[in-house]
Amino acid sequence: MVKLRSKFTLGNVFVLFVFIFFGSSFSPPLLIIEEWVRTFMEGDSSGNMGLDIAADAQGNSYSVGYTVGGNLDGAVVLKHMADGTLDWSRVGNTNMVLAYKVHLDAAGDIFVIGFGDNELLVDKYDDSGNLLWESTSVPAYHWNTIGDEHIDIHFPDDGYFYVTCKSWGIESDFLAVKYNASTGNIEWSQNYNNAAYNNSWDVAKAISTDEDGNVYVAGDAQFGFSSDGVALLKYDPAGNLLWEKHWNNNGDCVVEDMEIFDNSIYLGGHLNFDYALWKFDMQGDFISISTHDFEVDWDFVNAMAFDTTNAVIYLAGSCIVDGGNHFNCGLVKFDTSGAFLWAQQYNGNENSNDAFLDIILDSEGSVYVTGKAANSNVTNITTLKYDLDGNLQWEIAYEFAYGRGKGLTLGPENNVYVTGFNTPGPSSLFTTIKYSQSPVGIQDNGVGIKDDFILHQNYPNPFSYSTNINFHIPSYEKVKISISNLTGKIIKTLINENLQKGEYNIEFNPSGLQNGIYLYTIETPTQSITKRMILKK
């Protein structure tokens, strides 16, 4: 069945009608809908930020981060129900002050990984927010509270889990720790110092295991005053170092992530400010490197995603363009042979320092990225979806204030959860957003037809340039959609005519309206629904 959309214009309003034709199969386009936004601020704190997020099979989300500058500084753990209701929060209740990573196990327990006072810590909670244990501390190094510290976790579902980050040394060393997932006991902890260059500044970035329980750690190692390379380590299950391998080309080298696949080790990062994919064999011997330069130097990779089904790798970050005047978001796709497949850039509505900061894939191989992009003179939390061929499926920004999307995950029905921060005033707010994806149109085959009268929340909201209003009517009837102020006075009528049953989208341009809260209403002869929208130019 093929669905075609016909668009006509009513002033500043664009209406998408759905017409249905039968023929070959077709995947309808998707609407991205902001279901809810939740913000958190601890007392009179000055800084609140979400750094990572996970979702369970019921659509509950668990976001972690921190709060600083108030009466209660510390790690923050929030559980929101599927409808956005805050189920519980834990703030500064343990020795952890910065929560960087979160993981859910099959039993529904929550692992929170982060830092105390120059120590690595793990807190385990049950689904009700009860603290089950806090691990013994391990000396570790972190130097900022902006959420840009490097820490990686690996849960192979074998009763153990693994964490890597920087450790204390003469400068900075690799730290790798193996934990018992049930008790939190430390099985072993190992530091590594690259002795190739005067107790250099070494930064561990990624950790993984093979099927035999051997542990691999990768990161950046300094080989000269202005020369960084790759350090790749292998430990046996008992924590004994089996080998260390180095790769260096006397340039600038940054590793961001690692994946073990088909008897090869893949590292993603950037080399001399180009996107880079390294490939090593299982003995740590170098096989190949593939790079991509967008326009000029100063391209940065922040995250990697590996699609094992299609044997492809995605690198997400930023790229400098326009002769070096601003950064765009960047996304590059390679296959496992190292062949370049495609690259995409994304620029917000204005030229600024845009960047993708996290990436995740769904079961069909579609790519989701979040980060920051400029709209209305500030960078906003911005999230996008691409298909396998690099075609942009949708984009959505939380255009409320300066902010960033730091963590990204998917829930049931590929609902999208984002956490980060936005700053509408002097203090930043820990921000969590849920988006849903809905096909445009209906399937008129007698199965799965919506019979509800529905008005969705407009998106984006708040908005500045335009916003989308999606609605569904279950039968042929006269429909009126209007915009009014808070006193109920109708300012604009967007549509007032007979419509066939189906799903519709209206793009509303608020030209001539002042900033503020407005109401939008859908009315039929038998019922009506009203929702709020926020205009913030």
Residue 406 in contact with residue 50, Cβ under 8 Å?
Answer: yes
pLDDT band at 20 (very low <50, low <70, confident <90, very high): very low
Cross-strand bridge partners of residue 227: 224
Residue 397 in contact with residue 461, Cβ under 8 Å?
Answer: no
Q: Is 151 exposed, middle or buried (0-12, 13-18, 19+ CB in 10 A)?
A: buried
Write down the pTM of the prediction.
Answer: 0.79
pLDDT at 194 over 50: yes
Half-sphere exposure of 307 (CA within 13 A, CB side): 22
Q: What per-residue confidence (pLDDT) applies to 1? A: 22
Q: Which residue has 């984002």 as its token pair?
A: 418
- Write down the H helix ranges in 64-177: none
Residue 371, token pair as written in the block: 């980060």
Phi-psi label, residue 448: left if phi above 0, alpha if psi -120 to 50, beta otherwise: left
Residue 264 in contact with residue 274, Cβ under 8 Å?
Answer: no
Q: What is the largest CA-CA distance in the chain?
A: 80
Using DSSP, state whether 342 is helix, strand or coil: strand
Q: What per-residue confidence (pLDDT) applies to 59? A: 96
pLDDT band at 85 (very low <50, low <70, confident <90, very high): very high
Q: Backbone phi, then psi, for 488, in 5-degree steps?
A: 95, 0
3-state helix, strand, coil in the chain (%, to 5): 0, 60, 35
pLDDT in tens, 442-495: 333 333 334 678 888 888 887 877 888 988 888 888 899 999 887 778 899 999
pLDDT at 528 over 90: no
pLDDT band at 143 (very low <50, low <70, confident <90, very high): low
Residue 330, token pair as written in the block: 């960047």
Q: Is 339 exposed, middle or buried (0-12, 13-18, 19+ CB in 10 A)?
A: exposed
CA-CA distance, 221 to 56, in Å (whole number)? 37
Q: Which residue has 């209206």 as its token pair?
A: 506
Taking all residues of the chain, what is their mean pLDDT, rounded to a whole number? 86
More confident residue, 379 or 134: 134
pLDDT band at 114 (very low <50, low <70, confident <90, very high): very high
**CB-based contacts of 60, cutoff 8 Å, min separation 6:** 79, 80, 81, 82, 87
More confident residue, 83 or 461: 83
CA-CA distance, 120 to 482, in Å (whole number)? 55
**CB-based contacts of 65, cutoff 8 Å, min separation 6:** 48, 49, 50, 51, 52, 75, 76, 99, 147, 406, 419, 421, 430
Residues in the chain: 537
**CB-based contacts of 109, cutoff 8 Å, min separation 6:** 124, 125, 126, 127, 132
pLDDT in tens, 318-332: 998 876 678 999 999
Q: What type of residue sits at position 172?
A: S
Half-sphere exposure of 225 (CA within 13 A, CB side): 0
In CATH terms, the superfamily for domain 442-535 is Macroglobulin (MG2) domain (2.60.40.1930)
pLDDT band at 511 (very low <50, low <70, confident <90, very high): confident
Q: What type of residue sits at position 176?
A: A
The domains of the chain are located at 442-535
| Cα–Cα nearest to 215, from 254, 188, 196 | 188
Q: What per-residue confidence (pLDDT) applies to 324? A: 65
What is the arithmetic mean of pLDDT over 40-54? Answer: 91
pLDDT band at 340 (very low <50, low <70, confident <90, very high): very high
pLDDT at 184 over 50: yes
More confident residue, 459 or 272: 272
- Counting other chains too, the contacts that 130-134 makes at CB distance below 8 Å and 24 or more residues apart are 131/90, 131/93, 131/94, 133/183, 133/184, 134/94, 134/95, 134/96, 134/184
- Pairing type for strands 119-125 and 131-134 reads antiparallel
pLDDT band at 197 (very low <50, low <70, confident <90, very high): low
Q: What type of residue sits at position 349?
A: N
Half-sphere exposure of 514 (CA within 13 A, CB side): 3
pLDDT band at 25 (very low <50, low <70, confident <90, very high): very low
